[in-house]
Amino acid sequence: MSSFTEPLYVVQLPDSDEWLTLRAFGYWYDCEDTDAPLCVRCHACITVPDGTRTDFASIPRPLWSLIGHPAGRYAQAAVLHDYLYRSGRLPRARCDALFLEAMEVLGVPWLQRCLMWAGVRVGGFMAYTKGAP
């Protein structure tokens, strides 16, 4: 089962909408090792290092009443997603799928996480290609 290893600790950067992680945290998730001869199930961890920049969820202000504030219950999933986009470690679709899964781990309601996932699928292309949230 997927889980975060540590709580999220952040500080806002002066005169900025960005935040900085103060401690590293990990996210354990299930994966499939498709390079293995029998497609072995595995358990992998992504470590988000301290000093990672984030703007949390890039939700346009007019949608806050519908979807939520950028630093809602899904904040740690959003930081993970920002890190994955910036690192380029995984294909964009996998980054977005892990964002959806991580929101479920955090107890984000189904409709809210589906709307947020749809938002990154529709609007995340430019951010992923730039390596920024």
Confidence at 112, pLDDT banded by 50, 70, 90: very high
Question: In Å, what is the CA distance from 35 to each residue of 39, 44, 91, 128?
Answer: 7, 15, 16, 25
pTM: 0.87
Better-predicted residue by pLDDT, 14 or 68: 14
Q: Do 77 and 103 contact (CB within 8 A), yes or no?
A: yes
Question: What pLDDT score was predicted for residue 43?
Answer: 76
pLDDT 10s digits, 53-68: 999 988 888 888 888 8
Radius of gyration of the chain (CA): 15
